[in-house]
A and B are shown apart, each in its own frame.
Chain A
Amino acid sequence: MLNSYILRRLLLIAPVLFGVTIIVFLVISLVPGDPAKAILGTFATPEAVAQVRHDLGLDESLPAQYGIWLFNLLQGDFGRSYILHKPVIVEIMARLFPTLLLAGVALVLSSVFGILLGIVAAVRQNAWPDKVITVAVLIGISTPSFWLGILLIFWFGVRLAWLPVGGMQEMFGGGGVWDVTRHLVLPSCALAAVAGAVLVRLTRGAMLEVMRQDFVRTARAKGLPERRVIFVHAFRNALVGIIPVIGLEAGFVLGGAVYIETVFQWPGIGRMLVSAISTRDILLVQGGVLVIAFAYVLINLLADIAQSLLDPRIRAG
């Protein structure tokens, strides 16, 4: 059902993506100092610098640079990495899937467990499950995910030696699905823990809020069993507020992947970005940020559409 809301929302994607390219472009081109010198080092010859400046299009005006950059971008040309000596797009494509897999699994894990525990905490408010969950949530939102990752490696990888601690080099390197899954367990849990804690808290609050609404009283006045009151009437309404936050969580998970990939040596875009920043491989950073931002925008689009399918008031605009 392609209703007018979804259509409008799809059309709005274009200016958002356009804006994203402008911001990425501006941030990178406002680099203080000469990127060419930064790339080549302090002892480069003037000729070499001029050559690199030309290659990067830095001898053009800023709008012209942007125009050329965008034009190339639309053709899939993200430029060349001076450090890796290959096209940026090739490097990104090789690393996109591992990142999306890690972030996706973490997002699903955190959403499912976050919402379930949130409901349990709300329904059993002030009883022991609620108290246990509340303390766990507090610790969850206060824990740096990279530190959690290190602890997981230490206990499950080193001490107990149940799971591989990292070293996932090639996604399709022959280990098969089982190997990938085993490598995925620890990083996705570390990544999901914090995001999940935020969702537990949100779901609990949303459920408590909704349970006080008049229509819940109406549902009870109709003699509906409490199970139906909670899940059909209260939860669906709470979900309207939860879904956009899941969209935001996607950003959290995609960003957090940078830490987790570094800790677990996961071959994704996050780890690529960190090393690209330290080697000042500007174009690689630009491409990586852009691709992840696009993914994030698309996930939020899906969240908005899901929310509109649930809530007729949003469809009406």
Chain B
Amino acid sequence: MSGRPTAWRLLTQNAVVAFGLGLLGVLVLIVLAAPVLPLLDPNVTDVLHRLKPPLFPGHPLGTDQVGRDILSRLIWGTRLSLAVGVIAALTAAFVGSVIGLSAAFYGGLADTLLMRGIDMLMAFPYLLLALAIVAALGPGLFNAMMAIIIVNIPFFARGVRGGTLSVVNADFMAAARLSGLTNLQIIATELLPNVLPGIVIGVSTTIGWMILETAGLSFLGLGAQPPQADLGGMLGEGRNLIQVAPHVATIPGVVILLLAVGINLVGDGLRDVLDPKLKSGGLARTHARTAAARGEERRRGLTPAGSDARLPLAVRGLHTQFTVGRQVYKAVGGVSFTVKPGEAVGLVGESGSGKTVTALSIAGLVATPPGKIVQGEILHHGEDLVDAPMARLQAVRGNSIAYVFQDPLTTLNPLMPVGEQVAETIRRHQGVPRAEAWRRAIALLESVRLPDAAARASSYPHEFSGGQRQRVGIAMALANNPEVIVADEPTTALDVTTQAQVLALLNDLRRERNAALVFISHDVGVIAELCDTVYVMYGGKVVESGPVADVLQAPAHPYTQRLLACVPVLGHPDRKIEPIPGLPPATNALPDGCAFAPRCDLAEARCRSGSIELVAVSGEHLARCVRVAA
């Protein structure tokens, strides 16, 4: 049950990588078979037949300046170059890894000294250092290989040290220590298996370089010595014949190129498979807006908007999906809600309930790929934002619909003064000159009570505390007096006391300016305090909605009931906490019927099939449960 078969399959699935593997495989097979192939002796000269072109009888690739068979020399030379490259890469990787591992694991003075030494070596252009070493040791293939190994050790040492450091501080290392493992056991069973993929990537991506570098030294006459020849040496011999017999220099170059292409393709493939960051197409570029199905397909089954068309925001029948590989994650599966002027609407749910994706869908900010709006519309005063022209959508974003995001550290541009980040959005939508925008930005920063706003507007995000950064985020959202502010867990990353201040501020300012609020949170308490209307989400659907007081005090859906029952409430420590058994559903495998049914102790047969609609509990209070309808 090791991860290898899957990694191998992943590797060969990619057509490009498979091509590299094939290319490399053929080359390796040929050079391995060199002793048994019917080749001429690579070192036998025949001056009568010198510099014969390719396809000359008896010499398929022709002969060189002393009449030696190029094909034979080529195969033997490739064998030599490949061996040297592999040995050099493995040796440098081994020594460098030992240095990097020990430096990172033991830390302290050993680390400092080793790394200072490495820094010094890296202060040289590495080819030059290799030349100096060859100069000292004298020309020759072995010395050239030693030189290449020595100059590559620092790269491995530094890379492995970095990789190790990120593992050394992981909690599971502490856990292993607490499990009573010795240092040696920890290195062998915890550290090494987690650092090894990085080393393998390092080796596979450097073998190519190593071959090019040793070929280079041989080319200069400092590596393989005549009559023995590796690819670089053959190239060097052919260099001066380029005018009379171009094939002598061209052929070995082509082989080096093919070899390096094969190795690089396989190396890239290995990296994609082994580096978790690159898995599942993680490095796809996000587009300027969320992709959407075409109009008529998307609006199928929707009733005419009616009075919803006059509202600042009406989300109608929204379905947003993510396609990853062959899996389709139905993150949002038919969400409808409306926002009246000045109203505060809360979306509450656990992770995976679809609340954030709903919020981001409003202004087309769901990352595409892999996200796509497949059904429903988002009306802003009757205008469907999903297929509004790009320029129109951009005119709405940050202007009449503005966002406050979760983590204020990552959502602000680290390289731009905060004042400029606010001023930028003012200039964009109000078209005022720079100085005026800056003045207004400072006024906004003052209004969010950023201390010493005029001076600190020129500071960068990292110079502020989390709470202050979120104040900047709020100032940015308020900059153009939006009609609707969408706040996606704006205080989750903050401490309790800061959270209270930031929430109060956000609420006061939006009331002052009469902006509506769409507030996304997992915290029922925050929603209760801030919102007029609440939508409880589960498995991508709204399971219950209505005025906050009704829903939270008399929940009708079993999920809402159970959710409220498992939240500890301050001041009621003896209230029994009743956990909900099981796990929230995965949105790529939602059950038929009610998504909560598998965890619900009231579930019956009819809960598990068909589609269950929202029905009125009383007035505006709706719930998606068969027991309410009855």
Contact = CB atoms under 8 A, between A and B. Distances in A.
Do any CB atoms of chain A lie under 8 A from CB atoms of chain B in the complex? Answer: yes
Interface of A: 16, 19-20, 22-24, 27-28, 30-32, 122-123, 125, 138-139, 141-144, 146-147, 150-151, 153-154, 158, 205, 207-209, 211-226, 229, 233, 236-237, 240, 250-252, 254-256, 258-259, 262-263, 273-274, 276-278, 280, 282, 285-286, 289, 292-293, 296-297, 300, 310-313, 316
Given A258-B127, A293-B123, A220 B288 contact: yes
Contacts of B551: none
A214 B407 contact: yes
B253 interface: yes
A312 B411 CA distance: 17
A277 B222 contact: yes
Interface in B218-254: 219-222, 232, 235, 238-239, 242-243, 246, 249-250, 253
A20 B286 CA distance: 45
Among B219, B390, B402: residue with most chain A CB under 10 A: B219
Q: From DSSP, what is the main secondary structure of chain A's interface residues?
A: helix
Contacts of B443: none
List 9 tightest A-B contacts by C-beta distance, closest first.
A255-B127, A142-B260, A251-B125, A147-B253, A222-B398, A223-B397, A19-B120, A223-B398, A214-B410
A32 B133 CA distance: 11
B128 A258 contact: yes
B455 interface: no
Q: From DSSP, what is the main secondary structure of chain B's interface residues?
A: helix
B442 interface: no
Given A144-B253, A255-B127, A258-B128, A225 B239 contact: no
Interface stretch (B40-48, B421-429, B587-595, B602-610): B421-429
Interface in B402-426: 402-403, 405, 407, 410-416, 424-425
Contacts of B132: 24, 27-28, 285-286, 289
B531 interface: no
Nearest to A253: B125
Contacts of A224: 394, 398, 424-425, 428
A297 B128 CA distance: 13
Given A150-B239, A224-B398, A262-B220, 19 more contacts: A16-B120, A24-B132, A31-B136, A125-B284, A138-B264, A141-B264, A143-B253, A144-B253, A151-B253, A154-B250, A215-B413, A223-B428, A229-B288, A233-B413, A274-B131, A278-B222, A292-B125, A312-B414, A313-B462
Contacts of B265: 138
A277 B221 CA distance: 10
B365 interface: yes
Interface stretch (B69-77, B208-216, B332-340): B208-216
B134 interface: yes
A222 B424 contact: yes
B291 to A, nearest CB: 14
Contact of A223 (B131, B235, B396): B396
Among A150, A213, A229: residue with most chain B CB under 10 A: A150
Contact of A293 (B128, B138, B416): B128
Contacts of B192: none
Contact of B285 (A123, A250, A280): A123
A226 B288 contact: yes
A255 B209 CA distance: 14
Given A146-B235, A220-B397, A151 B463 contact: no
Contacts of B566: none
Nearest to B403: A221
A292 B367 CA distance: 47
22 contacts: A27-B136, A32-B138, A138-B261, A146-B219, A146-B235, A147-B249, A150-B238, A208-B284, A208-B285, A221-B365, A222-B398, A222-B402, A222-B428, A223-B396, A251-B124, A251-B128, A254-B125, A258-B131, A282-B135, A293-B128, A311-B415, A312-B414
B504 interface: no
Contacts of B253: 143-144, 147, 150-151
Given A214-B411, A215-B410, A139 B257 contact: yes
Contact of A20 (B124, B222, B460): B124
B156 to A, nearest CB: 15
Nearest to B283: A208
A214 B405 contact: yes
Contacts of B283: 205, 208-209, 212
A213 B269 CA distance: 25
Contact of B219 (A16, A219, A254, A259): A259
B357 to A, nearest CB: 13
Contact of A311 (B215, B222, B414): B414
Among B121, B123, B246: residue with most chain A CB under 10 A: B123
Contacts of A251: 124-126, 128
